[in-house]
């Protein structure tokens, strides 16, 4: 299923190398001011350009097809399209036979019967995070008063951002790639979002984050460190304004407690590397050596903070 | 919503201190051999008894109400009940006014309007993980051929299990509590479970795990460490039998790749501690000191591996 | 799937000849006064007793298992059980081999692989309308201010109720059965319930009504007669208080318009008749003659008005 | 919610007078041959042109945006767009203040707060049945081997089709409108589709049919007449090939029995008539007289058989 949410519902469609990709939003409240310019800032944050990101350029201009009238949402389904202009699909040949390590080529081939299916370089693509960012822009409008701030706090194992450019340069020189950690906080969250069972706010956020390609872990508040603490140290005492510290990351019993939501998301290094890798050649039934060409980010994690924010906003828009 | 799953659907009901709790399972295939004895082993693993777990004892005998005929499932909804025998609800007085740090007393009071609502010690209770374990038993039957093994690998920050009893004794002497980390692996998973977007296998597992009370983080395969690796190090090369190592934790692009699913879940220390804690007294509008009485686990994480397995089985039964 | 609704969710479970049947309600608002006595009046309306209804008697006493505390709903899932006391399952032997005309014996056998499955006389049973009635009682409490009144307006083709007893006596003497039409109106419905597409209020009501066993048709307002009218005759002019007549049955464009909801539901004659019928004997591969024994209603439609009301209430409780 | 189905999911979007309308299909199996030409025949059946239908002309050319590669479906979400070329939105002025009898102007205004919302002439429009027809084309491909045939069997109360043109001419001369009844049968339906509770095949079909604008009733097999029959007359005896007649309309206990699905759908007369009607003027708080201008069908029921088929196919594609 390609839809997320119960009330604020987000459906993503399109393929990396088709003519258009898009998003259909259902459950958008009526009366929100919304125009195509509103998407620019967040879309720019996802765009490549910084060192370590792909040279593939897209205009990434949203076209609002439905659900907006006279500059305001109507409450009817809101469809937004993006053209794919800069495709070079020959870059993706032959991965059915010789799957790229770290990619879905192999599982897609098995799942969909080794048909000549473009999903490997198609519906799986990181390009589909663009409509996610667009959905996030609408979700943030719904969540007037909440403030989303995600940023990369660790790259290639270093939390010292002054080292990052040289780490990237070194990895790039080796035809290799790097990962990173994104920290997100959401301020202004009302008390009471989330459910005690199944749909805890952490469950829903984790669900959304793990649908971003390349995520390997998520932790809230003290996170994995909490498991080494004592209760007296990890518990957040209540004061007159709510929790006095935020070891929980903003929720108790699955329900927001008024403190900022705080969580960290671990991104793997980019899977596509030009450095030769071993893989199995299914056509010839032998081990083979693969060097992934094409235009790829050395560290795609750099482009993800706005995607993390969008996913958080999508989840919270569904809960409010 | 108190239901999880699309095809294999699990609904939990009941309160810690009501007469009965239970689970309703929809989408169970017909023809599975199932009797009440089948639940004993997993239920025993969740039961207290080990050092560091609560002295509260329950018979925890399942009663199959529907969906089984002549020792086999019929495909109709399967309802299982458990009696609550050993309740001492006076232990839970007054937490609306003086909320326990780390508990949902405060958020429940705000969310449900400060009504005299028993949910704080009610539908939130860890006791509701008992029907989860029962659902897991049925799910494992559905997943004939998969092998679930979760165990505690870290307690109170130590991975050396010979130290654990003394760590617990020390925390207990201080009226304090400890957390832990559970590692789970699932063998025999077919290739192709999960969807590229929204319902990646990691998304669904994370969703389910974060609905276990007290979870602070989850990571797959190399997990947070992956973000400090290079692509050439983290990528799993394919061989003739599938991935040659398991840095991804068993999935590519959100879809299982035939390697075992491997993930780690961080549990916080038990929130209820007898050691005095600061909290806000809403009735008297002043800071107050609270010592949580009642029978509590020093380290409830010890009882969670079978719950982690149950949740994993519930997710996978929904996907196959 | 055995669940209906998005917000007010009703799950039915149990088999006619098992120990207990029940209903699980999720999404019940907190704070409604509710006790077991509240169910008596509606349950009595569904009970047999009138001429033409089965002599099978059940105590039909509800047991509230969860979701109620101190006489009020808590907002947590509400589970209600009923014991099955008066079962004579030998009445149901052999219908797999020689399926009863008008019953699901045959399709159930094919759908569930000719397994020895008790569903034919199991989860299909009209007895499961008892938990539906219970759910309706809760739904009506949610819909404080709406008034549900359904009644049988036609029996055996006659709208003159003074003839009904003699029609029943005649059919009974012939070992035969009769059908009927139930008319339902709901007063006090606010304007605006329902959605323009897919989930029109008529769609949802029709969906629910056709899950009552034995329904053959539903029509709203002028119903089938509307298709023979001109627009100037069928259209409902608006006045200061809303529609001046109710040809639409209470909705425009799928959305309630403030007029009472009005619809008619056609029930077939009871399928089980003692009069001999032709059917196929699958065991012996020949035509056979079947006389259905057991205790059956001559006209089960007499017991359905309260079920129609319950279904309407369930739908509206989900919409408000 | 603007989505229908669990597995084969159909989402409709767009407004009658926006730039584009469309449909997003999720759960389409991979490997179906599909091109834009495949839609022509069914779209032509919905197009106006026959006497009694609107002179508004649209090119109605589908554009497949995603989910098809190299002439075949990929299993990824399938998005189809249609341009709106021939809009005259000035025709729809002022209906918020002076609502058209039989239309949703009034309820939409109340439901969405009297905002200047274009839904009255927007998302409610019969134009949105065009993407429904497109979804039906894809659904029929999924249901290879089933045969859908719906046709108008009654117009303006007459079942003699030779009278229809003169009935339409007469109504048209009076500035009035007519309704009709569509009969649909589906051959080749396998045994076993549908569920015993909630999601009976009749429930799902009725749900879908009542989301077509202007439907007033639906009946299966003997329909309302069944309620005047005796059981011995209405019951369908089984023979070696299944039911020997089809009084049930193709299902027992909510599950298809192998006989053709047979049902009749009642359509009201077109609501928009040029003949003056009484209505309330909300702006001036007085009764007013309204003559609905614009281009409207005298009998829109003529264009609905292909829509009824599409809805039936959408339901069945979700069930198989």
CA A132 to chain D, closest CA, distance in angstroms equals 15
The per-residue b/e assignment along A233-268, b for 16 or more CB within 10 angstroms, e otherwise, is: ebbbbbeeebbbebbbbbbbbbbbbbbbbbbbbbbb
Q: Does the beta carbon of C128 lie under 8 angstroms from any beta carbon of chain D?
A: yes
> Do D273 and C231 count as a contact with CB atoms less than 8 A apart?
yes
Can you tell me the mean pLDDT for C38-53? Answer: 85
Neighbouring residues of B91: CB distance < 8 A, sequence distance ≥ 6 = B121, B293, B294, B295
Q: Does the beta carbon of A117 lie under 8 angstroms from any beta carbon of chain D?
A: yes
Q: List, as one string, the DSSP characters of C31-74.
A: T-B--GGGGHHHHHHHSS-STTS---------EEEESEETTEE-
Can you tell me the mean pLDDT for D10-32? Answer: 91
> Do C79 and B15 count as a contact with CB atoms less than 8 A apart?
no
Q: List, as one string, the DSSP characters of B205-238.
A: HHHHHTTSTTEEEEEETTGGGGGGSBHHHHS--E
Q: What percent of chain C has pLDDT over 70?
A: 89
pLDDT band for position C70 (cuts 50, 70, 90): confident
Q: Which of C23, C209, C210 to mutate to test the interface with D (most CBs of D within 10 A)?
A: C210
Q: What is the pLDDT of residue D120?
A: 42
Q: Is the pLDDT of residue A121 over 70?
A: no
Chain D residues close to A22, C-beta within 8 Å: 65-66, 79
Q: Does the beta carbon of A270 lie under 8 angstroms from any beta carbon of chain B?
A: yes
Q: Does the beta carbon of C275 lie under 8 angstroms from any beta carbon of chain D?
A: yes
Chain A residues close to D115, C-beta within 8 Å: 30-31
Instruction: Find the range with the poorest average confidence among B5-9, C280-284, D138-142.
Output: C280-284
Q: Which residue of D has its CA nearest to A27?
A: D1
B positions 210-239 inside 8 Å of A (CB): 210-211, 213, 215-224, 226-239
The ipTM estimated for the assembled molecules is 0.94
Q: Which residue of B has its CA nearest to A156?
A: B228
B119 closest CA partner among B85, B92, B141, B142: B92
Chain A residues close to D19, C-beta within 8 Å: 65
Q: Which of B14, B211, B227 to mutate to test the interface with A (most CBs of A within 10 A)?
A: B227
Can you tell me the mean pLDDT for B163-178? Answer: 96
B12 closest CA partner among B98, B136, B153, B195: B136
Q: What is the pLDDT of residue B16?
A: 74
**Residue-wise pLDDT tens digits, A177-235:** 999 999 999 999 999 999 888 999 999 999 999 999 999 999 999 999 999 999 999 99
In angstroms and rounded to an integer, the radius of gyration of the C-alpha atoms of chain C is: 21
- Among the partner-chain residues D13, D75, D116, the one whose CB lies closest to the CB of A24 is D13
Q: Is the pLDDT of residue C95 over 80?
A: no
Chain A residues close to B199, C-beta within 8 Å: 1, 211
Residue C207 to residue C185: CA distance in whole angstroms: 17
- Among the partner-chain residues A106, A107, A197, the one whose CB lies closest to the CB of B211 is A197
> Do D107 and C191 count as a contact with CB atoms less than 8 A apart?
yes
Can you tell me the mean pLDDT for D158-167? Answer: 97
Chain C residues close to D272, C-beta within 8 Å: 231
Neighbouring residues of C153: CB distance < 8 A, sequence distance ≥ 6 = C159, C181, C182, C183, C264
Can you tell me the mean pLDDT for C259-276? Answer: 96
Can you tell me the mean pLDDT for A24-52? Answer: 90
Q: Which residue of D has its CA nearest to C111?
A: D192
**Residue-wise pLDDT tens digits, A235-260:** 999 998 889 999 999 999 999 999 99
Can you tell me the mean pLDDT for B140-167? Answer: 97
Residue A62 to residue A93: CA distance in whole angstroms: 29
Can you tell me the mean pLDDT for C125-152? Answer: 95
CB A261 within 8 A of CB A201: yes
CA C154 to chain D, closest CA, distance in angstroms equals 8
Q: Does the beta carbon of C252 lie under 8 angstroms from any beta carbon of chain B?
A: no
Q: Is the pLDDT of residue B120 over 50?
A: no
Q: Which residue of C has its CA nearest to D255?
A: C107
Architecture of domain D3-319: 4-Layer Sandwich (3.60)
**Residue-wise pLDDT tens digits, D259-281:** 999 999 999 999 999 999 988 88
Q: Is the pLDDT of residue B7 over 60?
A: yes
Q: What is the pLDDT of residue A315?
A: 98
Q: Is the pLDDT of residue A288 over 70?
A: yes
**Residue-wise pLDDT tens digits, B19-55:** 899 999 999 998 999 999 999 999 999 988 766 666 6
Those chains having 3 or more beta-carbon pairs within 8 angstroms of chain B are: A, C
Q: Is the pLDDT of residue A119 over 80?
A: no
CA D63 to chain A, closest CA, distance in angstroms equals 11
- Among the partner-chain residues D15, D74, D122, the one whose CB lies closest to the CB of A119 is D74
CA A174 to chain B, closest CA, distance in angstroms equals 10
Q: Is the pLDDT of residue D122 over 70?
A: no
Chain A residues close to B240, C-beta within 8 Å: 280, 285
CA C230 to chain B, closest CA, distance in angstroms equals 45
CA end-to-end span of chain D:
23
> Do D268 and C157 count as a contact with CB atoms less than 8 A apart?
no
Residue C131 to residue C141: CA distance in whole angstroms: 16
**Residue-wise pLDDT tens digits, D288-300:** 998 887 778 899 9
Q: Is the pLDDT of residue D183 over 50?
A: yes
Those chains having 3 or more beta-carbon pairs within 8 angstroms of chain C are: B, D
H-helix or E-strand spanning residue D185? strand D180-187
Q: What percent of chain A has pLDDT over 70?
A: 89
CA A308 to chain B, closest CA, distance in angstroms equals 13
| Average pLDDT value over all residues in chain C | 90
Instruction: Find the range with the poorest average confidence among A184-188, B311-315, C65-69, D100-104.
Output: D100-104
Q: Which of B13, B32, B64, B67 to mutate to test the interface with C (most CBs of C within 10 A)?
A: B13
DSSP state of D261: E
C238 closest CA partner among B35, D287, D149: D287
- Among the partner-chain residues B20, B24, B119, the one whose CB lies closest to the CB of C76 is B119
CA D191 to chain C, closest CA, distance in angstroms equals 7
Residue B157 to residue B229: CA distance in whole angstroms: 24
Q: Which of B76, B89, B130 to mutate to test the interface with C (most CBs of C within 10 A)?
A: B76
Q: What is the pLDDT of residue B168?
A: 96
pLDDT band for position B113 (cuts 50, 70, 90): low
Q: Does the beta carbon of B112 lie under 8 angstroms from any beta carbon of chain C?
A: yes
Q: Answer positive or negative: Cα dihedral of D121, C225, D180, C155.
A: positive
| Boundaries of every domain in chain B | 3-319
CB D304 within 8 A of CB D183: no
Neighbouring residues of A314: CB distance < 8 A, sequence distance ≥ 6 = A4, A5, A8, A10, A132, A135, A136, A139, A208
**Residue-wise pLDDT tens digits, D29-68:** 989 999 999 999 999 999 887 666 666 566 799 999 999 9
> Do B252 and A102 count as a contact with CB atoms less than 8 A apart?
yes
Q: Which residue of B has its CA nearest to A9?
A: B198
Q: Is the pLDDT of residue A93 over 70?
A: no
What SS3 state is found at B135? helix
**Residue-wise pLDDT tens digits, B17-28:** 678 999 999 999
Chain A residues close to B250, C-beta within 8 Å: none
CA A77 to chain D, closest CA, distance in angstroms equals 5
> Do C234 and D103 count as a contact with CB atoms less than 8 A apart?
no
pLDDT band for position C153 (cuts 50, 70, 90): very high
CA end-to-end span of chain A:
23
**Residue-wise pLDDT tens digits, C12-41:** 999 876 789 999 999 999 899 999 999 999
Instruction: Find the range with the poorest average confidence among B174-178, D123-127, D192-196.
Output: D123-127
Q: What is the pLDDT of residue D196?
A: 85
Q: What is the pLDDT of residue B114?
A: 54
**Residue-wise pLDDT tens digits, D72-114:** 998 889 999 999 876 555 555 566 678 888 888 888 878 876 5
Quickly tell me which residue has 């040029």 as its tokens. D274
Q: Is the pLDDT of residue D218 over 70?
A: yes
B positions 3-32 inside 8 Å of C (CB): 3, 9, 11-15, 18-22, 24, 26-27, 30-31
The C-alpha torsion from A69 through A75 and A77 to A82, rounded to 10°, is 50
Residue D149 to residue D310: CA distance in whole angstroms: 10
- Among the partner-chain residues C12, C227, C277, the one whose CB lies closest to the CB of D216 is C227
Chain A residues close to D12, C-beta within 8 Å: 77
Can you tell me the mean pLDDT for A287-305? Answer: 89
Q: Does the beta carbon of D205 lie under 8 angstroms from any beta carbon of chain A?
A: no
Q: What is the pLDDT of residue C204?
A: 98
What SS3 state is found at A57? coil
H-helix or E-strand spanning residue B288? strand B286-290
Chain B residues close to C119, C-beta within 8 Å: 74-76
Q: Which residue of A has its CA nearest to D84?
A: A65
Q: Which residue of A has its CA nearest to D67?
A: A14
């Amino acid at each position: 299923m390609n839809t997320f949410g119960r009330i604020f519902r987000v459906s993503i469609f399109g393929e990396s190398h088709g003519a258009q990709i898009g998003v259909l939003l259902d459950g958008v409240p009526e009366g929100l001011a919304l125009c195509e310019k509103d998407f620019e800032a967040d879309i720019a944050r996802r765009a490549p350009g910084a060192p370590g990101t792909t040279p593939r350029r897209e205009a990434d201009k949203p076209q609002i097809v439905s659900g907006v009238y006279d500059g305001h949402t109507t409450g009817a389904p809101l469809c937004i399209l993006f053209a794919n202009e800069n495709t070079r699909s020959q870059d993706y040949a032959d991965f059915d036979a010789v799957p790229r390590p770290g990619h879905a080529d192999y599982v897609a081939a098995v799942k969909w019967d080794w048909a000549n299916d473009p999903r490997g370089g198609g519906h799986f693509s990181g390009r589909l995070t663009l409509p996610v960012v667009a959905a996030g822009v609408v979700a943030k409008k719904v969540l007037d008063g909440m403030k989303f701030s995600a940023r990369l706090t660790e790259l290639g194992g270093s939390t010292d951002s002054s080292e990052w450019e040289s780490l990237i340069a070194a990895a790039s020189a080796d035809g290799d790639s790097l990962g990173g950690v994104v920290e997100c906080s959401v301020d202004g969250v009302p008390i009471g979002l989330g459910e005690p069972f199944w749909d805890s706010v952490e469950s829903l956020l984790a669900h959304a984050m793990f649908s971003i390609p390349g995520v390997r872990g998520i932790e809230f508040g003290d996170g994995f460190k909490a498991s080494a603490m004592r209760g007296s140290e990890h518990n957040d005492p209540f004061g007159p304004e709510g929790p006095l510290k935020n070891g929980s990351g903003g929720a108790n019993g699955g329900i927001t407690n008024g403190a900022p939501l705080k969580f960290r998301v671990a991104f793997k290094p980019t899977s596509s590397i030009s450095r030769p890798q071993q893989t199995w050649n299914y056509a010839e039934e032998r081990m083979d050596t693969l060097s992934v060409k094409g235009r790829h980010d050395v560290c795609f994690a750099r482009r993800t903070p706005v995607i993390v924010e969008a996913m958080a906003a999508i989840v919270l828009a569904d809960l409010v």
